[in-house]
Amino acid sequence: MKKEISRRDFVKASGALIVCFSTASLVEPLAMAQGPFDTHPSHVDPEKLDSWLAVASDGTVTAYTGKCDFGQGIYTVQTQLVAEELCVSISKVKLIQCDTSVTPDQGTTSGSQSTPTNFNTRNLAQAAATAREALVGMAAQRLGVSADQLTIENGVVSAKDGRHVSYGGLIGGKHFDIAVSSTAKRRSTSEWKVLGKPVPSLDRVALMSGTFEFVHNVQVLGMVHGRVVRPPEIGATVGNVDEKSVQHVPGLIKVVVRNNFIGVVAEKQWQAAQAAKDLKVTWQPRLGLPAQKDFYDYLRKQPSRDLMLVNSKDVDNKLKSASRVLKATYLHPYQAHGSIGSSCAVADVQADHATVWSATQSVYPTQHGVSALTALPLDSVRVIFVRGAGCYGLNAADTVSYDAALLSQAVRRPVRVQLTRQDEFLSENYGSACVVEQQAALDASGTIDAWDCETWTASFGGRPGYDQPGNVITGMLAGFDPETINPRTAVEPTGELRNGNNAVPSYVVGCVNGKCGGAGSIRSERVLTHAVKSPFFTGPLRSPLRLQNTFAHECFMDEISAYARADPVAYRLQHLRETRIIDVVKAAAKTANWDARPSPKPGTARTGTVTGRGIACVAYEGDNGYAALVAEVEVGQASGRVQASRFVVAHDCGPISNPEGLRNQIEGGVLQGMSRALGEEITWDDRKVTSIDWQSYNTLPLGIQVPIIESVLIDRPEAKATGAGETAITLVAAAIGNAIFDATGARLREVPFTPDRVKATLSSRG
Amino acid sequence: MAAISLKVNGHAHTVDVDPETPLLYVLSDDLQLRGPKFGCGLAQCGACTVIIRGQAVRSCVMPVSAVKQQEVMTLEGLGTPEKPHAIQEAFIDEGAAQCGFCLSGVILTAKALLDENPKASDEQIREALSNVLCRCFTHTRMMRAIKRYQRSRA
């Protein structure tokens, strides 16, 4: 590894402690660390305060986080967090995100876990609180007064007699050399001056003025351009590569073949694009794909890995003795992340070290993956996060980082790889297709006595993590095995309720070993899940499985309440016992001026445009945020077109760190959920995926009639902070489906609710 | 390869590229501009939008040789971080972005429409944006920002 300029040398040379270089500044990639620590890639010790924070002589605070921003606003809100705990203004805080050389390993930025991870009583929050207490302690000693006699105002600690000392004067340029304290006191929500306030996103001016640096803009000295040539179908293997077919392409540097991975490298991007297009490759096809029209039946018949999440063992008896049993099956398709920017990465792999600029959610796991692919020692690989287009989960950011590493290693030059739209659509890790079968036993009064749920989820590959680069296409093509399904029958649940995928509906008690972690009151409960091998790569897509399962639960709850001739809100409340989910349901209904009555709406016409309202609610992942959503829709019964006119969301994520950012996430989540509910679906023929661009994969463009979205934010200063980016989207398909039922009496049980599907369902009303 | 002269954001450039190279690649790779972005390469999303002769143009499918003497304006040519253009100001005020990757398509398409037709109806604005994508679905704020800009010019 090249010698890095040490922090001390750097301080002397630049006269300032912290310099954040732009990756586009054409510097030697490893010439200097991004931050002030001489950290070795695997030596950022999260137990040490200095791994999280540094204060410069001018009082500027640099903070290091392993949770990075893709547009969800975590950059801004983590900056607020550090400013709050250190009692400085936001402008004094510089946040360095996700870089294996300088930030602590915080795994993956995903699953609505950034706020729970960094805003409660660990990690970044606790480090900042530790730093404040340490600084106050130093000031007390310096000024000769006790710490409780001191006040802090924007990084200046003052005694009552007016004597004061700044953070810069206390520690500027020096290490704290202490551990992160688990007892350092967080500032209470009642003291908040920076957190809890609506702070506009700190990147907005750079974004709007076109000066923000995305990973697509990274340029490194000597950089050349790569493109990949993907197999037309997952699992196809390379037969022959005719390198002569691209000899005519000017600027071509190399055709790279490694196992089934193929790429080209050229001096210019356009040349690489030409070579990738013209390269003649014969692929050995595989067996073909299961027919899409029968796919959900196919899923149910495959060997599966099973998990019993709850089982009160009386469900079969209850179903037998019930006065009425209701059954329904819900279907959810594969959907794409479909980032607006096809993924891109830059890698510089030399003989003894590698640097990768990547939009990955997981710099440390990606470091491991690149190490495995290049056979370079782990600590010789540095992965630096640079934002890409919004990813919404595992898009192709990881796989393109591997592409860039493989191509750079083959040519020993820095290589930028831009995937095409088709590359991305063909082989990204789709959100899983799911089948959910529901049964409920009702007693004579119309109350639910037992809930029985069985799910089938298509799964193949996923996040590479630290040791499975084959979980994304490039790793598999290069010869690494993807994670696959090893069939296993379910054993009875142990430990406590695990509802991370919301497979367990909110209305059951969720009892495991006598401990009941569910949000509801139904005591007879059984939830059995089957993971089935998918013919396509799958991976987390915003609200992974929680959205699919919640669609099934919340529509089924609506079906039951309709059968019971009960108001859907009142009927939900009747079966819930957790205060926080009850409160969001009530708040959404109140703000929406909910029309309390059973569905469907009485007396509506069978022709023309009709309107209806629907509700859905969730305890996200069981306890990581609560939301309820009311949807109001118009349904054109001749066209089958569904137009949402209004959404009301009530949202509880504990203490609200930034209401402005939260509203933005809710609004985007609701409309993204609407696009997915109404149109998005991966399609395929007998051999290959056919939804490969924005004409063959539906998305709602900007020019739609945008529905009104009202967000009711329930602040809970006393609670733990939870995630907030995935809660609202979880509810949209269910709320729209329920509103369509209210308007028309027709029940949509398969996403997406395309005009054809809506029309077919309307015509089956009888 | 051929020497091609271009005028971009008020500056003259000469680049040595294949004349068939899409304008986007020249703007991004040769001129190192960050505004126009590769979204789909198929003129289906708008992320690569630039303004040429007052029209929103998708630079990912326009050969650089077709630009000729026409001036190209990118998102960063519209205003600066210190002095944003009024439409950029409106987007800043409304916080109308999440990831922000789509902004060239949104802002420049709206600007081109409203420059030509300052009194465009909501329907006309929607029509102009019917092939522009934002996958974070920041639609509510973006439409608000566009209306704010329209009002500011009235």
> What distance in Å separates the CA atoms of residue A675 and residue A186, rounded to the nearest whole number?
40
Across the interface, whether the CB atoms of A421 and B138 are under 8 A apart is answered: no
- What pLDDT digit, counting tens, does each position of A451-465 carry? 999 999 999 999 999
User: Which residues 30-69 in chain B show a CB within 8 A of chain A?
Assistant: 32-35, 37-42, 44-45, 47
The phi and psi torsions of A405 (rounded to 5 degrees) equal: -65, -45
The model's pLDDT over A548-558, given as tens digits with 9 standing for 90+, comes to 999 999 999 99
Residue A431: closest CA among A335, A517, A506? A335
Within chain A, all domains assigned CATH 3.30.365.10 are found at 7-208, 215-286+337-427, 297-334+432-763
**Residue A450 near residue A466, CB atoms below 8 Å:** no
Select the residue from A25, A75, A223, A340 to test the B interface by mutation, using most B Cβ atoms within 10 A.
A340
Q: What is the pTM of this model?
A: 0.94
pLDDT at A488 over 60: yes
pLDDT at A99: 95
**Number of CB pairs < 8 Å for A and B?**
201
The Cα-based distances of B140 to A73, A646, A668, A722 in angstroms read 17, 12, 8, 25
Q: What mean pLDDT is predicted for residues A630-649?
A: 98
Q: How confident is the model at residue A16 (pLDDT cuts 50, 70, 90)?
A: very low
pLDDT, residue A451, reads 98
Predicted local confidence at residue A118, as pLDDT: 86
* SS3 labels along A164-216: EEEHHHHHCCCCCCCECCCCCCCCCHHHCCCCCCCCCCCCHHHHHCCCCCCHH
Collect all residues with Cβ–Cβ distance below 8 Å to A422 and sequence separation of at least 6: A692, A693
Kindly report, residue by residue over A665-710, the tens digit of the pLDDT: 999 999 999 999 999 999 999 999 999 999 999 999 999 999 999 9
Pick the CATH number of A297-334+432-763 from 3.30.365.10, 3.90.1150.10, 3.40.50.1220, 3.30.300.180: 3.30.365.10
- The span from the CA of A642 to the CA of A611, in Å, is 10
| Fold classification of B86-153 (topology level) | DNA polymerase; domain 1 (1.10.150)
pLDDT value for B52: 98
**Contact between A340 and B20 using a beta-carbon 8 Å cutoff:** no
Are the beta carbons of A709 and B140 separated by less than 8 Å? yes
Asked whether the beta carbons of A105 and A23 are under 8 A apart, the reply is no
Q: What is the pLDDT of residue A286?
A: 85
Q: Which residues, other chains included, contact A534 with Cβ-Cβ below 8 Å and sequence gap of 6+? A: A432, A433, A458, A459, A460
pLDDT value at A21 more than 50: no
- On the question of pLDDT at A41 being above 50, the answer is no
**Which has the higher per-residue pLDDT, B97 or A765?**
B97
Q: Per the CB < 8 Å rule, is B103 touching A210?
A: yes
When CB atoms are compared, the residue of B34, B139, B140 closest to A212 is B34
Please report, rounded to a whole number, the percentage of residues in chain B having pLDDT higher than 70: 100
Say what the pLDDT of residue A109 is.
87
Q: Which CATH architecture has domain B2-77?
A: Roll (3.10)
Evaluate whether B9 touches B80 at the Cβ level (below 8 Å). Answer: no
Q: Which of B32, B99, B128 sits opposite A390 (nearest CB)?
A: B99
Model pLDDT for residues A229-281, shown as the tens digit of each residue: 999 988 899 999 999 999 999 999 999 999 999 999 999 999 999 999 999 99
How close does chain B come to A42, measured CA to CA in Å? 29
The CA distance from A211 to the nearest CA of chain B, in Å, is 6
How many angstroms separate the CA of residue B58 from the nearest CA in chain A?
A: 14
Mean predicted confidence (pLDDT) in B127-136 = 98
Confidence band of A625 (pLDDT split at 50, 70, 90): very high
- Check pLDDT > 80 for residue A546: yes
How far does CA A93 lie from the centroid of its chain?
26
Q: What is the CATH number of domain A7-208?
A: 3.30.365.10
pLDDT value of position A23: 34
Given this model, what pLDDT does residue A111 score? 81
Q: What percent of chain A clears pLDDT 70, i.e. is strictly above it?
A: 94
Share of chain A above pLDDT 90, in %: 90
pLDDT tens digits along A169-183: 999 989 999 999 999
Task: State the pLDDT at residue A287.
Answer: 82
Residue linked to tokens 């950011």? A397
Write down the domain spans for chain B.
Answer: 2-77, 86-153
Please spell the DSSP secondary structure of A527-578, one letter per residue: EEEEEEE-SS-B--BSSTTHHHHHHHHHHHHHHHHHHTT--HHHHHHHTB--
| Nearest C-alpha in A relative to B80 | A209
Residues A256-266: tens digit of each pLDDT: 999 999 999 99
Contact check, Cβ <8 Å, A270/B20: yes
Q: Please state the rounded mean pLDDT for residues A514-526.
A: 97
User: Does the pLDDT of residue A221 top 90, yes or no?
Assistant: yes
Check: CB of residue A63 under 8 Å from CB of residue A258: no
- Say yes or no to pLDDT of A46 above 60: yes
Q: What is the dihedral of CA B56, A207, A382, A404, to 10 degrees?
A: -10
- Rounded to the nearest integer, the mean pLDDT of chain B is 97
Alpha-carbon span B25 to A654, nearest angstrom? 46
A-chain residues near B34 (CB < 8 A): 210-214, 217
pLDDT number for residue A484: 84
Cβ neighbours for A531, distance < 8 A, ≥ 6 positions apart: A304, A305, A306, A307, A457, A459, A485
CA distance B95 to chain A (A): 6
What distance in Å separates the CA atoms of residue B94 and residue B90, rounded to the nearest whole number?
A: 6
CB contact under 8 A, B17 and A212: no
Nearest CB to B37: which of A214, A269, A693?
A214
pLDDT score, position A26? 32
- Of A100-104, A220-224, A336-340, A368-372, which gets the smallest average pLDDT? A100-104
The type of residue at A461 is: G
Identify the pLDDT of residue A14: 32
Distance to chain B for A649, nearest Cα, Å: 15
**Contacting residues for B36 by C-beta, under 8 A, at least 6 apart:** B24, B27, B28, B47, B48, B49, B50, B59, B74, B75, B104
pLDDT category of residue A117 using cuts at 50, 70 and 90: confident
**Mean pLDDT of all residues in chain A?**
93
For A668, nearest residue in chain B (alpha carbons): B137
The third-level CATH classification (topology) of the domain covering A215-286+337-427 is Aldehyde Oxidoreductase; domain 4 (3.30.365)
pLDDT exceeds cutoff 50 at A151: yes
Mean pLDDT over A600-621 rounds to 96
Q: Would you state the pLDDT for residue A35? A: 39
The pLDDT, as a whole number, for residue A424 is 96
Of the candidates B42, B79, B102, the beta carbon closest to that of A693 is on B42
The pLDDT of residue A114 is: 84
Distances (CA, A) of A664 to A206, A209, A266, A725, B136: 18, 20, 41, 9, 10
pLDDT in tens, B26-84: 999 999 999 999 999 999 999 999 999 999 999 999 999 999 999 999 999 999 999 99
Interface test with B, best of A23, A26, A702 (most B CBs within 10 A): A702
How big is the CA angle at A403 (ends A475 and A227), to the nearest 5 degrees?
135
B17 contacts on A by Cβ (under 8 Å)? 268, 270
DSSP bridge partners of A241: A281
- Contact state of B28 with A217 under an 8 Å Cβ cutoff: yes
Cα angle B19, B22, B24 (rounded to 5 degrees) comes to 130
Asked if the model's pLDDT at residue A8 lies above 70, the reply is no
Query: B135–A339: do the CB atoms touch at under 8 Å?
Result: yes
